[in-house]
Amino acid sequence: MNNKSFSAKYTFDDILVNSVKGKRCKKMAGKFADMDFTVLISGESGVGKEMFAHAIHNKSKRKFKPFVRLNCAAIPENLAESELFGYESGAFTGASKEGRLGKFELADGGTIFLDEIGDMPLILQAKLLKVLQENEIERIGSNKITNIDVRVIAATNYDLKEKILQGTFRRDLYYRLNFLSLEIPPLRERKDDIPVLVKSLQDRFYRKYSIKKYFPDGILKALSDYNWPGNIRELINILGRIMITSKGKVVTMDDLPEFLLKTHHDKNELLKSSMHEAESKLIMDMLIKNNFNKSKTAKNLGIPRMTLYRKLKKLFPIINSQH
């Protein structure tokens, strides 16, 4: 099958990482691509789970076969079974006269990507487990068994172990899916990826819209100070907005959304406070060690005596006046 709608768009070249955690995750996914086993990809919304699924398929031995995607959260419960397994003509009211192939048959020989697997209804989880165990499906309205050869990659932003405890996810299905486990860290834990993601978007905007913008180090620092709860998806959306709305060729602080500026300012104030605390402790410890002899303390600290006096006046006005 050479249908573009059933092909994977992304490769590992599209996954841009520079952080230690990002590189480790990408390397692990590359190894998984060479193994023809079920993969469970977990991570917060927006971290790039689907991109990893595409890349794993495109590096696997199944890369010339179909890559079929199903978002388990987007399909109504009453249609989910027919979407997965298909149906025969007249199987139910409103069914097509020709019947319909399900996603598993469409993916035969290739990969099926079950996104948001944690939202799959329990009754369908039992049927999916049977498919994974037997490698065969049965269309709705048919008694015929169809053998299939499909690799399953599933993704979730839930803690499935917690859902098991809540009784909303099957334990046996979890272990069947979790043969190979890939956890993608949130963007806040891999801030070193932000500059390469910014560079990629800069290049994309220039190629597509002839818009060229420069992000100075101060702007990259402000972007890194934010925690990005929406992860890469949120970063791309904000960067796109900045690229379009900023007036000059060089992005300035005035071009950043208010929430980014506030986070950047708060972190700078916290850093200054921490530095002052560390400096105060060092000077106080040295003063006590030298019995409040300022000349000796300045010498031990390696700073001019007048510099110490200025710091004491600023940090310890009471001590400075008494000694």
- DSSP character at residue 214: B
Token pair belonging to 12: 């590992």
Do 12-185 and 188-256 agree at the fold level? no
Is residue 322 predicted with pLDDT exceeding 50? no
Specify the higher pLDDT residue, 5 or 68.
68
- DSSP character at residue 250: B
Token pair belonging to 311: 């710091």
Token pair belonging to 55: 């890349």
Is residue 96 predicted with pLDDT exceeding 90? no
Give percent of the chain above pLDDT 90. 59
Token pair belonging to 317: 């006005």
Of 64-73, 217-226, 252-261, 313-322, which range is least confident?
A: 313-322
Mean pLDDT of 99-117: 94
Q: Where are the domains of the chain?
A: 12-185, 188-256, 272-315
Token pair belonging to 272: 């200054």
Of 153-162, 234-243, 265-274, which range is least confident?
A: 265-274
CATH, range 12-185:
3.40.50.300
Q: Where are the alpha helices (DSSP H) in 66-153?
A: 77-85, 103-106, 122-134
Q: Is the pTM of this model over 0.85?
A: no
pLDDT value for 316: 63
- Match 């486990």 to its residue by tokens: 181
pLDDT value for 67: 98
Work out the burial of residue 30: count CB atoms within 10 Å of its CB; fewer than 13 is exposed, 13-18 middle, 19 or more buried.
middle
Give the whole-angstrom CA distance, residue 97 versus residue 2. 26
Give the whole-angstrom CA distance, residue 192 versus residue 224. 8
Task: Render pLDDT for 261-319 as a digit per residue (tens, 0 to 9).
Answer: 876 555 454 344 445 566 677 777 788 888 888 888 888 877 788 888 787 777 665 44
Give the whole-angstrom CA distance, residue 174 versus residue 159. 11
- State the pLDDT confidence band at 191, using cuts at 50, 70 and 90: very high
pLDDT value for 91: 64
Q: Where are the alpha helices (DSSP H) in 184-304?
A: 194-209, 217-225, 231-245, 258-289, 294-301
Whether the Cβ atoms of residue 80 and residue 124 lie closer than 8 Å to each other: yes
CATH, range 272-315:
1.10.10.60
CATH, range 188-256:
1.10.8.60
Mean pLDDT of 111-120: 97
pLDDT value for 45: 96
Specify the higher pLDDT residue, 136 or 305.
136
* Average pLDDT of the chain, as a whole number: 87
